[in-house]
Amino acid sequence: MTAAGRTFEAIRADFADPEAVRALGTDLAGRERPVDILVNNAGTIRRAPAAEHTDEDWDLVLQVNLSARFVLTRVVGAGMAARGRGRTVFTASMLSFQGGITVPGYTAAKHGIAGLTKALANEWAPRGVNVNAVAPGYIATDNTRALQDDPVRSRAVLERIPAGRWGSADDLAGAVVFLASDAAAYVHGTVLPVDGGWLGR
């Protein structure tokens, strides 16, 4: 990156820890160089039938996937609104539109992200801040490892995807770059599926 005239700083924060998230937000908001683009992508999942989904798993998933992302965006987005410019891109999910199976906490959080995207866009669009989200389909990540490793579920997933394959993290890059760019200057409150055609099936 330095060869391209850029620098990179890695900052670790545990999104399951509300104090760590607040501290990260305070750190970012207080820097001389402001945050122009926030890609809010933290996430975790816990799988269990609803009747067996524990309070601990529910609280963890809602904290990481929804509450922490709101807290961070609230403080970073306030700075963007004050400056009159900025881009926030959330990671939503197909389960922002559907119910899923044995992931009630995850589904609730992802529906929340879709609503939060629209709510923040309504407030901040007039102040020059674009808030949108991408909604990945079945992407080959650690979160979907259990499904990939289950031959019955994996086959059922692939049969439903018109593109005929699991997505990769690279498949999301173009959508995120678009939403973070000036090409999306008039795009506000959108949840953009990147799902190989799953939702259109």
Tell me the three-class secondary structure of 29-77, residue by residue: HCCCCCCCEEEECCCCCCCCCHHHCCHHHHHHHHHHHHHHHHHHHHHHH
Contact present, 133 and 191 (Cβ < 8 Å): yes
Is 186 part of the annotated catalytic residue set? Answer: no
Tokens, residue 102: 């044995």
Selection from 72, 171, 172, 173 nearest residue 131 by Cα = 72
d(CA 89, CA 82): 18
d(CA 200, CA 193): 10
Phi-psi sector, 77: left (phi>0), alpha (psi -120 to 50), beta: alpha
Give the 3-state secondary structure of residue 168: coil
Q: Kindly name the residue from 15, 106, 124, 198 that is annotated as catalytic.
A: 106
Catalytic residues: 106
